[in-house]
Amino acid sequence: MNLISRIKNIFQAFIWKKHTTKSTAVKTVAERAMSDEEYNTRRKIKQDKIDIILDKISMSGYDSLSQGEKDLLDNLNK
């Protein structure tokens, strides 16, 4: 292997290591566990939205929902 190939391989290994380190750090921050308080707050907000949609259905029927409300219900059923 000539000198240029060796330098190229070292450079590529350095770039690859740097790239994987960055993506791992970003992934760790994005996937950190929620605290109980965060989880309960998000769950309450979600439940409040569902309750509003269900009240609207009981008062005006399913056809009165916006497309966003229908999509939210569809996503919850999956």
pLDDT of residue 15: 60
Write out the chain's pLDDT in tens, 78 residues. 576 777 667 666 666 555 555 555 555 555 667 788 888 888 898 899 889 999 999 999 999 999 999 988 888 777
| Res 60: pLDDT | 92
Rg of the chain on CA atoms, in Å: 25
Name, in order, each residue with C-beta under 8 angstroms of 49's C-beta and a sequence gap of 6 or more: 72
CA 61 to chain centre: 31
Which candidate, 41, 66, 38, places its Cα nearest to that of 52? Answer: 66
For residues 21 and 15, give the distance between their C-alpha atoms in angstroms, rounded to a whole number.
10
Is the entire prediction scored with pTM above 0.75?
no
